[in-house]
Every structure is written in C-alpha cells, then in structure tokens.
Amino acid sequence: MANDKKLVASITSRDEDFAQWYTDVVKKAELTGYTSVKGCMVIKPAGYAIWENIQKELDARFKETGVDNVYLPMLIPESLLQKEKDHVEGFAPEVAWVTEGGLNKLQEKMCIRPTSETLFCDLYAKDIQSYRDLPKVYNQWCSVLRWEKTTRPFLRSREFLWQEGHTAHATAEEAEARTVQMLNVYADFCEEVLAIPVVRGQKTDKEKFAGAVSTYTIESLMHDGKALQSGTSHNFGDGFAQAFGIQFTDKDNQLKYVHQTSWGMTTRMIGAIIMVHGDDDGLVLPPRIAPTQCVVIPIRQKAEGVLDKANEITAALRASGLRVKLDDSDRSPGWKFSEQEMRGFPMRIELGPKDLEAGNCVLVRRDTREKLVVPIEKAAEESAKLLQVIQKDMLERAKQFRAEHTYEAEDYETFKETIDQKPGFVKAFWCEDVACEDKIKEDTTATSRCIPFGEEAIVPEGAKCVCCGKPAKKMVYWGKAY
C-alpha cells in the first residue's frame, strides 16, 4: 500500500510544516483551484459540496428560529457606506470600487459589498414604520469582497462566500437575545455537525466589529495551536438606526429607534474542518458534513459475484439514507484506499472474494483506520452506527486536543513563554486597558480571542492583569490566530 499511495500524491507531514501540509491537502483533495484573478479562489466540486452541506444544515437551523432569506444588491454607493462613521472607517480601506459602468464613468462610485449592514439599513429605513413591522429577521447567502493583501484558500481570500443575518427589533433586550441566540446556533452547529468544539465569548472593544456595541464570537483551536474565529454575532444597539434614521411608532405611540444585530459564518469553516481533523494522509471529514460518507471498494472485482454484491451493499446503504458511492473503476484497490483517505470520506467498505465466501464485508474507519468485519446483510445498519460513532469520537478527540492545549498564566514571563513555546489558548486575567492588549500583541503576536461566558469568566478577588499587574477586570482567552 505504501507504494500505491504515491499513485495519489504525497503530502507534506502535518507536524513538519503545517502551512505546506494545509496547502497540499487543499490541492490534492481538489477542494480549490487557482485562477487568473489574484487573491481569489475557485471552489471545486469537492469543496463546494461541503459548502452546500454547511448551507443546508445552517439554513434549516436559521429557519427554525424564524429567519427569512432575502437578496440585496452587491454594490454599495459611496454615500451609503459613509453613513455610519465607525463602520466606514473599518471597511473603506479594504473595499474594491466600481467607477465605470456601461462605457461611462459613474457619477458616484460604488464598492462591492464587504458586508451589507448599510444596505439592510437602507431597506429597513424604508420598510419599518410601526411596531407591527418588527422584528425583521433577514438573512442572505452571498459572496463578499475584501481587498486582502495576503491570501490563503478558505482562510483569507479577497472574495468569499458567507451568510449574513441582519435583524431589527423594537427593544434592546430583544436585540441582545437575538445576538446570543445566533451565536448559540453557530456554536451548536460547529459542535454537532462539524465536530469542532468552540469557546463562546465576547470580543474586547479593540477586536469588535466596526460599528458594533458588542461582538460575540466562537473561537476554535486548530491542530497547530492557532485560534480561528469561527463565527461572530454583533449587537449594534441603535447606532446604525440613528445614522440611517430607522424609526418606528411603538405601541405607546412614541417614535423610537430600532435595535439591530448582524451575524455571519463563512467558507472559512471549510478551512477549520481541514485544520482540526486532517492528518498526514489528507482530509478527514466529519460524517454529518461529508458529501460522500462511505465509498464501497470491491477487491478483485472481476471475481464472480464481487461486483454484484458491492452494488447490492451500495444500494442498501443508499436506501438507508447514507451518502455512498461505489468505486468500480479499473484502478487498483490500494489507489482507491489512498484516494478515500486523501478526500476524507469517513469510512470505506472493502469486499473481496474471500469476504464474499464468508458472507462478510470490512468496514474501515478513516479517522482511526480501525477495521470492523460485519455480515454483508448488516452492512447498512452497521455503517450507520459506525458513522455516528465516528462523528462522536471526532468531537471528543478535538475536545481533548483543545484541553491539552489550553494553558493558564498568572505572570507576564510565563505568559510570553507559553505563547512562544506551547501553541494553544492561554487563559489569563486582564485589566481591560487596550494598552495591555497592544503590548501583548507587539511582544507575542497573540491577540485577545474572547472573554468567555459562564463560570470560567469569574475574576477572583485580588486577580491581577497578566501584563501590567494592575487589578484584573476580565478573564481572557489569548492566542495566535488566523
């Protein structure tokens, strides 16, 4: 099999050069392709099929909470982008401008949306008059453009796909509840579907979204110990409403500003799947998101009965709702095994003449390589069970990895040494002064990832800022990040 592997491709070892390993996996698993358009990627069938499953799962969860999908223009007139001061400062440096259309120079230039707060505000200002028009809970699936200087497939590219939810509410309480609700939708989705554990928390003022009162985030940990911001949910208070004049007549007949939120998740999550679960043989896809969950590989497929039975097994798995395919091409079984591993299909079923004689087939897990011999007539049932076990085990392993790579630091020397020597999260207290955040970033390149929710956020009496030693006000997750 070692020899067969070269038929597929050899990839850089993950522990040797993580960045090169990532690039190799993305390329060899045919998730993306290069293009003549600098900083942009082509998402190929194997990559796009993962995104389709992400969309399907997330969209169903959104709709359960009452979200309506809409579509707004991809262009934003300059004057509209400039209406909210913090927002334009945050985004103006990284947008692309359309200045000519239909052979003429435009009177007012327009940018390609980097995000659509301003367009939703423009819509809400027209459509909201009364408390009866509230809440508005809209979402759109689209692509956005940000003029990044250095790019990497899925993790940072000039154009990327995402969903952006934008809501308007009658009260501050309702907006806050929606902000938290959507963060939890993201967190549950990551853990249940992608098998990626996340830390839920709040961004510091320095790291929050341009124009937001507060930004909530979920942070996940990659295999190289770097953090990845995996989804954010923003509470805007009534700041945008004031800038755009979004007012409604409430039940008490008073004219009031609405309270707004926005929240987004992107194709970056495909990068997270790769970096959390992948190994030296390639991609490892969690069963719930894998476009192909199982591949059936006949051994000596010209031997009597083998291909027929492989077809039967495939049909049985498909009938029980699994996403399965049969590889009856003329390539060698070893080549097919390596390909299944490279592409990250969660399991394969091997079936040869000897298995057939014994009435068995062999289930092989992608994540652990464990083999399970089962009676052919139980192939579908056992595969369904096995996929559930794989899904659960992948989450457990990722949780364990994160636990083993989450550290604490009480003094600055330990903090700096940990960041430098031990890739992972570092939990440490902070005085809430942006100067300490700046210093930490300058000294270590680490940033504050989030102030976690719940018990672990409690700051005990006498706790001191890890950087300046002054009284601490917050417990913070720190880390180097993508």
- Residue ranges that bind a copy of itself, judged by CB under 8 A: 33-37, 40-45, 48-49, 51-52, 68-77, 80, 93-103, 109-110, 112, 119, 122-123, 126-127, 138, 142-143, 145, 147, 149, 159, 161
Least Å distance, CB 51 to a copy of itself, is: 8
Measured from the CB atom, is 80 or 185 closer to a copy of itself? 80
Integer-rounded Cα radius of gyration of the chain: 25
Using the Cα atoms of residue 153, residue 323, residue 342 and residue 278 in order, give the sign of their dihedral.
positive
- Nearer Cβ to a copy of itself (274/390): 274
State which residue, 127 or 456, has the beta carbon closest to a copy of itself: 127
Return phi, psi of residue 429, to 5°.
-80, 155
Q: Closer CB to a copy of itself, residue 205 or residue 328?
A: 328
Question: How many CB atoms are located within 10 Å of the residue 475 CB?
Answer: 19
Q: For a copy of itself, give the closer residue by CB, 152 or 378.
A: 152
Between 43 and 199, whose beta carbon lies closer to a copy of itself? 43
Q: What's phi and psi for 66, nearest 5 deg?
A: 90, 20
CA atoms within 13 A of residue 423's CA, in its CB half-sphere? 13
Kindly write down the DSSP assignment for every residue of 134-184, as one continuous string: --EEEEEEEEEE---SS-BTTTB-SEEEEEEEEEEESSHHHHHHHHHHHHH
C-beta of residue 426 within 8 angstroms of C-beta of residue 419: yes
Structure tokens at 335: 């080549």
Q: For a copy of itself, which is the closer residue by CB, 101 or 375?
A: 101
Cβ 70 to a copy of itself, closest distance in Å?
A: 5
Look at the chain and count its residues: 482
Q: What's the sign of the alpha-carbon dihedral 309, 311, 314, 316? A: negative
CB of 68 to a copy of itself, least distance (A): 4
| Separation between Cα atoms, residue 433 and residue 464, nearest integer Å | 12
Q: Specify burial of residue 43 (Cβ count, 10 A radius: 0-12, 13-18, 19+).
A: buried
Query: For residues 40 and 180, which CB has a smaller minimum distance to a copy of itself in the complex?
Result: 40
| Nearer to a copy of itself (CB atom), residue 204 or residue 338 | 338
Closest separation in Å from C-beta 450 to a copy of itself: 28
Contact 173, 266 (CB under 8 A): no
Q: State the minimum distance, in angstroms, from the CB of residue 287 to a copy of itself.
A: 21
Output the smallest distance, CB 121 to a copy of itself, in A: 10
- What does the alpha-carbon distance between residue 441 and residue 444 come to, in Å, rounded to a whole number? 5
Which residues, 6 or more positions from 297, have their beta carbon under 8 angstroms from its beta carbon?
310, 327, 333, 336, 337, 340, 348, 349, 350, 351
Residue 187 Cβ vs a copy of itself, minimum distance, rounded to whole Å: 26
Measured from the CB atom, the residue of 166 and 259 that comes closer to a copy of itself is: 166
Question: Which CB sits closer to a copy of itself, 123 or 285?
Answer: 123
CB of 468 to a copy of itself, least distance (A): 35
Between residues 45 and 305, which has the closer beta carbon with respect to a copy of itself?
Answer: 45
Least Å from the CB of residue 147 to a copy of itself:
3
Task: In whole angstroms, give the CA distance from residue 282 to residue 291.
Answer: 16
DSSP letter, residue 114: S
Q: What is the DSSP string of 191-231?
A: HHTS----EEEE--GGGS-TT-SEEEEEEEE-TTS-EEEEE
Closest distance of CB 30 from a copy of itself, Å: 9
At closest approach, how far in Å is the CB of 103 from a copy of itself? 6
* Neighbour tally for 249: CB within 10 Å: 15
Closest separation between CB of residue 87 and a copy of itself, Å?
A: 16
Query: What's the CA gap between 405 and 225, in Å, rounded?
Result: 7
Q: Which segments of 335-437 are extended strands (E)?
A: 347-351, 360-365, 371-375, 406-408, 425-430
